[in-house]
Amino acid sequence: MKKIREMLGYPGSGKSFTLNKINKTNNKVCTLEYIIFRDFLNKKILSKLYLFYIELILKNNSINYIKTKVLNPYKSYFNKTIFYELNIELKNQNIYFIKKYPKLNKIFSSLVKDTIHSDLEKKKIIKNFNTYCSSYSYYLKQKNLDKIVISDEGFFQKIFLNYNNKKKNKIVKKIKIYLKCIPRDIEIINIPTPIDKSINQCEKRARYFSYKKNSIFLKNFFPKINKIIRNYCIKNKIKYHKLPSKNQKIY
């Protein structure tokens, strides 16, 4: 069975930064989304030449470049023209995923509704989730793939949202249901950045990542979510790794 490693840490803990460092030392390491987006670029001559160019010039940093220059713009905008073929593929893969995990999408959408994000942000969060689910299904169907998958925004990480304080008891119950619905072929790599430092680092980013107005609640609630995940992993024998030292490997 194929194994997927997911980084787990509070928003702003440095997951993407850590993954970028790993990408630079091992070009076999990539995210789930990278695999399907790379295949998408390979389908047309111009985009294939573009892919060849950035892999030649950027070498080990090409994976991060595709993430920032192709994947992130796709997630941010609903462009049906440029990504027409990719949208069809993602839609088909998502249908397959929902058949296999019928409750997951509904419970995640319910969690998103319990946040204080704007309607546009909620729509983007759900779109990103569906893209990840589709990428997961696509990855499992690939044979002889010489890649090591490490996700910085995987199934476990998705539930660290800007929740509504007034709904915290219902949210905890929903999170426990959500965890029971996700795939189990996952190993976790814990990024142990303290909650205060993580939230403060979020404030240095764009508005979308800001938790300032809700930070008092989240500084208490996020550790609770982290504990729920840890207990779930122990109970279900899901490997839970601490971030290793500089001389150790996580792949």
pLDDT tens for each residue of 119-151: 988 988 998 899 999 999 999 888 877 888 899
Q: Of all residues in the chain, what percent are helix, strand and coil, respectively (each to 5)?
A: 65, 10, 30
What is the pLDDT of the chain when averaged over all its residues? 82
- Which string of DSSP letters, residue by residue, matches 86-117? HHHHHHHHHHHHHHHSTTHHHHHHHHHHTB--
Domain total in the chain: 1
| 248 domain-assigned | no
| 212 domain-assigned | yes
Query: Is the Cα torsion angle 17, 41, 158, 245 positive or negative in sign?
Result: negative
Report pTM.
0.82
Angle at 130 between CA 231 and CA 172, to 5 degrees: 30
| 12 domain-assigned | yes
Task: Look up residue 212 and give its two tokens.
Answer: 């300032």
**Which segments within the chain are labelled E, that is strand?**
4-8, 29-30, 148-151, 186-190, 240-242
Residue 68 per-residue DSSP state: I
| 170 domain-assigned | yes
| Backbone torsion region of residue 248, taken as left when φ is above 0, otherwise alpha when ψ lies between -120 and 50, otherwise beta | beta
Task: Please report which confidence band the pLDDT of residue 29 belongs to, taking 50, 70 and 90 as the band edges.
Answer: confident
| 251 domain-assigned | no
Q: Which residue range forms the structural domain that includes residue 214? A: 4-242
| 232 domain-assigned | yes
| 250 domain-assigned | no
| 247 domain-assigned | no
